[in-house]
């Protein structure tokens, strides 16, 4: 086994940091804050002085609006009344089509709109007022903002859908787990008694298989019940590098067997985490990397430390992830490993989400799978 420590690369994989686009724990307030930030970003650019974003919020089942108007800018009540009435919405243009609205009868200002989409059968759009006609460069920036907000809304909607599915799954698993726990305990007790009562008997080997199978079922049931539980974190400061090194050490036998080279970053950081739960995440991701790595392959575990978060990347040189894998890899009971329960990555994602982080996967351009964990530096 070769385990080396590396200084992290400037950029991990294809991940890039954006100053105003991250992976929050979604909610209506975060959505409103994001839109407000994008509006202020536009109104800071002359000649735009007023901006509004109208969007559909599925968490409350209604359209919401976010408006920004600097205090030193005056807009007549007639102009605002006309804009609020949406009487100017005569043509429902394709999404991200930048167009001018004629409001010359109310004001000398220029008015523009750019649709985000048409969720829930009503238009979503960016509406802006400017002191003069916008140059093409600024028009393109408004379009890019519309696309960014629309993408954020898509992610927000998908997150709400996943949360609803997780809540249903938690309820089903909790009921199923408790219903199976008692009879399985009785079967395990009788299997143990049967094994002990068949010493020196040719049937003892079969009794041993029954006992081990019951133990496997009990382990899987424990995983199921864990999936159904709410977060119960015991958060304390822990060293990231030490935690990764411990997980690698626990896989030493398999790493030696396949003659793998495992490297991880030399730098470290203190994170506020539940140590046992986060170790389970690293155990799972590194175990998968070892399992799918070819003989004499390389596994890299690098991280970058930012002001408020740390980004961790685990990559291997295995066969990579298919399109089906990328769509289902965190879905309960989906597994590519023979005999796997399909719960390891589901539990890992749940733990990371409980820590207000994110976990996702893609394929490395050089081949192999790579997983990313984004964690806040303080919980």
Are 317 and 248 part of one and the same domain?
yes
d(CA 351, CA 225) in angstroms, rounded, equals: 14
pLDDT in tens, the chain (379 residues): 555 544 333 334 333 333 333 334 456 788 888 999 999 999 999 999 999 999 999 888 899 999 988 777 888 999 999 999 999 998 888 999 999 999 999 999 999 999 999 988 889 999 999 999 999 999 999 999 999 999 999 888 888 877 777 677 677 767 777 777 778 888 888 888 888 888 888 888 888 888 888 877 777 677 666 655 555 778 899 999 999 999 999 888 889 999 999 999 989 899 999 888 899 899 999 999 999 999 999 999 999 998 889 999 999 999 999 888 888 888 777 777 776 667 788 888 888 988 889 999 999 888 899 999 999 987 6
Strand 270-274 to strand 235-239: parallel, antiparallel, or no bridges (unpaired)? Answer: antiparallel
Q: Which domain holds residue 197?
A: 162-228
Contact of 375 with 309, CB cutoff 8 Å: yes
| Per-residue pLDDT at 31 | 87
Q: Any idea what DSSP says for residue 18?
A: B
Contact of 318 with 294, CB cutoff 8 Å: yes
Are 178 and 128 part of one and the same domain?
no
| Per-residue pLDDT at 261 | 93
**C-alpha 19, offset from chain centre:** 18
| Per-residue pLDDT at 86 | 93
Question: Would you tell me how many other CB atoms lie within 10 Å of the CB of residue 329?
Answer: 21
d(CA 251, CA 325) in angstroms, rounded, equals: 24
Whether this model's pTM surpasses 0.75: no
d(CA 358, CA 21) in angstroms, rounded, equals: 14
Position 294 in a domain: yes
Locate all alpha helices (DSSP H) within 229-271, ordered by sequence.
240-250, 252-257
Position 8 in a domain: no
CATH number of the domain at 146, please. Answer: 3.30.450.40
Nearest to residue 364, comparing CAs of 291, 282, 271, 302?
A: 302
Are 368 and 247 part of one and the same domain?
yes
Question: Distances from the Cα of 34 to the Cαs of 124, 151, 221, 285, in angstroms?
Answer: 15, 12, 40, 32
Q: Which residue among 116, 142, 159 closes a domain?
A: 159
Could you tell me which residues come within 8 angstroms of residue 74 by beta carbon, excluding any fewer than 6 positions away?
A: none
Nearest to residue 374, comparing CAs of 7, 18, 109?
A: 18
For the four alpha carbons of 339, 344, 346 and 347, in that order, the dihedral sign comes to positive
| Per-residue pLDDT at 105 | 93
**DSSP character string of 36-105:** HHHHHHHHTSTTEEEEEEEEEETTTTEEEEEEE--TT----HHHHHHHHHTTT--S-PPTT--EEE--TT
Contact of 287 with 277, CB cutoff 8 Å: no
Are 295 and 370 part of one and the same domain?
yes
d(CA 270, CA 236) in angstroms, rounded, equals: 10
CATH number of the domain at 288, please. Answer: 3.30.565.10
Nearest to residue 264, comparing CAs of 321, 320, 315?
A: 315
| Per-residue pLDDT at 207 | 82
Are 134 and 252 part of one and the same domain?
no
| Per-residue pLDDT at 228 | 56
Q: Which residue among 126, 159, 192 closes a domain?
A: 159
| Per-residue pLDDT at 180 | 77
Specify the number of domains making up the chain.
3
| Per-residue pLDDT at 11 | 36
Question: Would you tell me how many other CB atoms lie within 10 Å of the CB of residue 179?
Answer: 10
Position 2 in a domain: no
Contact of 352 with 358, CB cutoff 8 Å: yes
| Per-residue pLDDT at 227 | 55
| Per-residue pLDDT at 107 | 93
Going along the chain, which residue ranges are E strands? Answer: 2-6, 48-57, 62-68, 99-101, 110-117, 124-130, 235-239, 261-265, 270-274, 298-305, 309-315, 358-363, 369-376
Tokens encoding 125: 């759009």
| Per-residue pLDDT at 199 | 82
Are 272 and 249 part of one and the same domain?
yes
The DSSP bridge partners found for residue 270 are: 239
């Amino acid at each position: 086994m070769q385990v080396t420590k590396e200084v992290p690369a400037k950029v991990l994989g294809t991940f890039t940091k954006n100053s105003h686009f991250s992976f929050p724990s979604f909610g209506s307030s975060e959505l409103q804050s994001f839109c407000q930030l994008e509006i202020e970003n536009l109104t800071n650019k002359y000649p735009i002085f007023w901006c509004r974003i109208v969007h559909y919020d599925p968490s409350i089942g209604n359209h919401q609006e976010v408006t920004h108007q600097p205090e030193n800018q005056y807009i007549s009540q007639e102009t605002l009344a006309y804009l609020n009435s949406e009487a100017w919405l005569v043509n429902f243009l394709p999404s991200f089509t930048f167009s001018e609205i004629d409001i010359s009868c109310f004001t000398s200002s220029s008015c523009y709109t750019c649709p985000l989409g048409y969720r829930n059968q009503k238009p979503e759009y960016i509406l802006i007022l400017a002191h003069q006609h916008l140059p093409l460069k600024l028009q393109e920036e408004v379009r890019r903002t519309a696309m960014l907000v629309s993408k954020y809304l898509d992610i927000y909607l998908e997150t709400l859908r996943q949360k609803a599915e997780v809540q249903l799954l938690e309820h089903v698993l909790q009921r199923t787990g408790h219903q199976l726990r008692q009879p399985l305990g009785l079967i395990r007790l009788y299997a143990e008694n049967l094994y002990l009562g068949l010493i020196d008997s040719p049937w003892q080997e079969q009794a041993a298989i029954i006992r081990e199978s019951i133990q496997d079922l009990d382990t899987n049931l424990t995983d199921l019940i864990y999936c159904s539980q709410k977060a119960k974190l015991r958060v304390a400061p822990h060293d990231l590098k030490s935690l990764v090194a411990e997980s690698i050490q626990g896989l030493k036998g398999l790493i030696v067997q396949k003659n793998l080279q495992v490297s991880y970053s030399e730098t470290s950081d203190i994170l506020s985490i539940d140590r046992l739960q986060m170790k389970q995440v690293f155990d799972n991701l590194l175990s998968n990397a070892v399992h799918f790595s070819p003989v004499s392959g390389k596994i890299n575990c690098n991280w970058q430390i930012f002001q408020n978060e740390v980004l961790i990347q685990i990559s291997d040189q295995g066969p990579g992830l298919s399109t089906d894998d990328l769509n289902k890899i965190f879905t309960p009971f989906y597994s590519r490993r023979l005999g796997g329960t399909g719960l390891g990555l589901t539990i890992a994602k749940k733990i990371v989400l409980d820590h207000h982080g994110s976990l996702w996967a893609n394929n490395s351009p050089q081949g192999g799978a790579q997983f990313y964990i984004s964690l806040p530096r303080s919980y």
